[in-house]
Amino acid sequence: MSTEETFFDHIKEGYTTKGDAIIIGSAMLDGSPVKEAYVKLPLKTFNRHGLIAGATGTGKTKTLQILSEHLSQQGIPVLQMDIKGDLSGIAKPGEEADFIKDRHAKIGLPYEAKGSPVELLTLSEQDGVRLRATVSEFGPVLLSKMLDLNDVQSGVLSVVFKYCDDNGLPLLDIKDLRKTLQYITGEGKEEIEKEYGRISTASTGAILRKLVELEQQGAELFFGERSFEIDDLMRVDENGRGYINIVRLTDIQDKPKLFSTFMLSLLAEIYNTMPEQGDSGRPELVVFIDEAHLIFDEASDALLDQIESIVKLIRSKGVGLYFCTQLPTDVPDAVLSQLGLKIQHALRAFTAKDRKAIKLTAENYPISEYYDTAEVLTSLGTGEALITALNEKGRPTPLAATMLRAPMSRMDVLTDTEIGEIIDNSKLVKKYNEIVDRESAYEILNKKIEQAETEEAQQKAKQEHEKVKKTSSRRTSTRMNPIVKVLTSATFIRGVFGVLNKLTK
């Protein structure tokens, strides 16, 4: 038996599945694809998370596109974080170019051009379905971690939430929280101290400064109503294809705090909302996070701990998380250890630091008699990747240098007109893009303060009136009657005595 035949049997045995699977490409030997040596990814293991890594221009985004559209074809909804703005083309069929035909002939797969149902979402002023969440939904614990508060400041924030709950003050947006913090150290200080104890103005001041920092990154657009419902990420179209929900994030690349805040709140909401799935054989939702380093670079230690906890727990809800970044080292070790699928595109060794990173990356993959992993990592072409996954029994599959199939959809962005058509036909835009600003803590406390100021002004006016009245009464009582004043004057008395003297004489 030849080496190629032995290799073919090795790959076929390692990637055989009983249930549904996605064929992502064909394994390569000595730099050339072996026809029909299919690398299959079982749907059953897609909730075990994964990593798509590689240098710029090696095909990471197209790999993400391939996985997303095939999951959609299987009726599984997808959520994508589109940082660079180049994922929207998944809504339209691709073109059967000669190089695509040639690639698929080598792999041994037919090519079919096909688009997928797409929903465009946004966190900012871009067109799309608006994503929002209320401050109350975050809660004091998550919000404290997001703002990187110390224990004392976290305690103060918990008191704020407790006070608002006890007094029917809805915390919906940033201005509600800011107003409440100002109130408890100002007009409501005595009320708060009586019920909840003394609160330091230094602590509330520190929290307010952290809120200002978050606001500068656009958080006022994110916090508020109407809150996005997780069920709207789980839709399928009339043909049974799962919707691919693309969050347009091209204008928040320089706002990592907002991005990590959004991701954490979304994952926490998914975890809290979705029921335990058990072993159903397929995921309920798959989330692809492009440029994943943006989540981790600016995150505090507490925030990282929270993300790591959610990554570990959320797979029991049937949710798979896939991080797309340049280097595996961009993702914390605690998260990397939870990833079942690893798709590693080429890495470039320009410096000693790069070579060290490649060596470390190679050590994360299973040993293979067919590959020198470190060497293959630097020689892979565009659209090729080293892949290892989990089989249906949870065991690692053989390492396979893989020529990936081409996306069925367009490998380019949509035009503004095409984006407009998707948004115009969206049912969710009508549901979430209406501006809602109902009475909440900000308005209620303002009324309370105005009422207190009015009552205080009325009390002062009453006191002034009483004071004036007393003064006036005092003056009236001491003022001499004019007749009495004349009769008792010295001149009048001397005159009277003078008249009497004359009369007696």
pLDDT at res. 281: 81
**DSSP output for 229-297:** PGGGGS-B-TTSPBPEEEEE-TT-TT-HHHHHHHHHHHHHHHHHHSPP--S-SS-SEEEEEETTHHHHH
The pLDDT tens digits for 183-200 are 888 888 888 888 888 888
Question: Residue 388: phi, psi to the nearest 5?
Answer: -140, 140
Query: CA-to-CA distance for 351 and 488, rounded, in angstroms?
Result: 116
Rounded (5°) CA angle 170-175-180? 60
% of residues, the chain, pLDDT over 90? 39
Query: CA-to-CA distance for 374 and 362, rounded, in angstroms?
Result: 5
Asked if 50 and 427 count as a contact pair (C-beta separation under 8 A), the reply is no
Asked if 290 and 252 count as a contact pair (C-beta separation under 8 A), the reply is no
Query: Residue holding tokens 């939430």?
Result: 161
Please, which residues have CB within 8 angstroms of residue 481's CB and are 6 or more apart in sequence?
A: none
If pLDDT is split at 50, 70 and 90, which confidence band does 209 have? very high
Distances (CA, A) of 349 to 148, 342, 359, 379: 37, 20, 10, 10
Domain boundaries, the chain: 3-132+225-407+418-432
Does the pLDDT value for residue 477 go beyond 60? no
Q: What letter represents residue 447's amino acid?
A: K
Does the pLDDT value for residue 469 go beyond 90? no
Does the pLDDT value for residue 459 go beyond 90? no
Query: CA-to-CA distance for 487 and 170, rounded, in angstroms?
Result: 76
* DSSP letter (8 states) at residue 363: T
Pick from 209-223, 236-250, 287-301, 403-417: least confident: 287-301
Asked if 415 and 406 count as a contact pair (C-beta separation under 8 A), the reply is no
pLDDT at res. 221: 80
- Per the confidence metrics, is the pTM higher than 0.85? no
Cα-to-chain-centroid distance, residue 421: 26
If pLDDT is split at 50, 70 and 90, which confidence band does 352 have? confident
Query: Residue holding tokens 């230690």?
Result: 301
If pLDDT is split at 50, 70 and 90, which confidence band does 488 have? low
Q: Which two tokens stand for residue 457?
A: 């002004």
If pLDDT is split at 50, 70 and 90, which confidence band does 454 have? confident
pLDDT at res. 473: 62
Does the pLDDT value for residue 476 go beyond 60? no
pLDDT at res. 489: 65
Per the model's pLDDT, the better-predicted residue between 226 and 386 turns out to be 386
If pLDDT is split at 50, 70 and 90, which confidence band does 226 have? confident
For residue 247, list its beta bridge partners: 81, 121
Rg (CA), the chain: 36
Q: Which of 58-72, 162-176, 345-359 has the highest mean pLDDT?
A: 58-72
Distances (CA, A) of 33 to 103, 286, 376: 9, 29, 14
Asked if 219 and 174 count as a contact pair (C-beta separation under 8 A), the reply is yes
Per the model's pLDDT, the better-predicted residue between 308 and 60 turns out to be 60
The pLDDT tens digits for 131-140 are 888 888 888 8
Beginning with the edge strand found earlier in the chain, give each strand of the sheet holding 384-388 in spatial order: 32-42, 21-29, 400-404, 384-388, 341-344, 50-53, 319-325, 285-290, 78-82, 244-248, 118-122, 129-130
pLDDT at res. 456: 67
The pLDDT tens digits for 80-112 are 998 888 889 999 999 888 999 999 999 999 999
pLDDT at res. 478: 52
Asked if 203 and 224 count as a contact pair (C-beta separation under 8 A), the reply is no
Does the pLDDT value for residue 21 go beyond 90? yes
The mean pLDDT of 46-72, rounded to a whole number, is: 93
Average pLDDT taken over every residue of the chain: 86
The mean pLDDT of 492-505, rounded to a whole number, is: 66
The mean pLDDT of 337-364, rounded to a whole number, is: 84
Rounded (5°) CA angle 397-402-408? 110
If pLDDT is split at 50, 70 and 90, which confidence band does 482 have? low
If pLDDT is split at 50, 70 and 90, which confidence band does 486 have? low
Among 134, 97, 65, which residue's Cα sits nearest to residue 407? 65
- CATH number, span 3-132+225-407+418-432: 3.40.50.300
Q: What letter represents residue 1's amino acid?
A: M
Question: Residue 297: phi, psi to the nearest 5?
Answer: -60, -45
Does the pLDDT value for residue 463 go beyond 60? yes
Q: Which of 85-89, 113-117, 120-124, 347-351 has the highest mean pLDDT?
A: 113-117
Query: Residue holding tokens 């990282």?
Result: 304
Residue 350 in 3-state DSSP?
A: coil
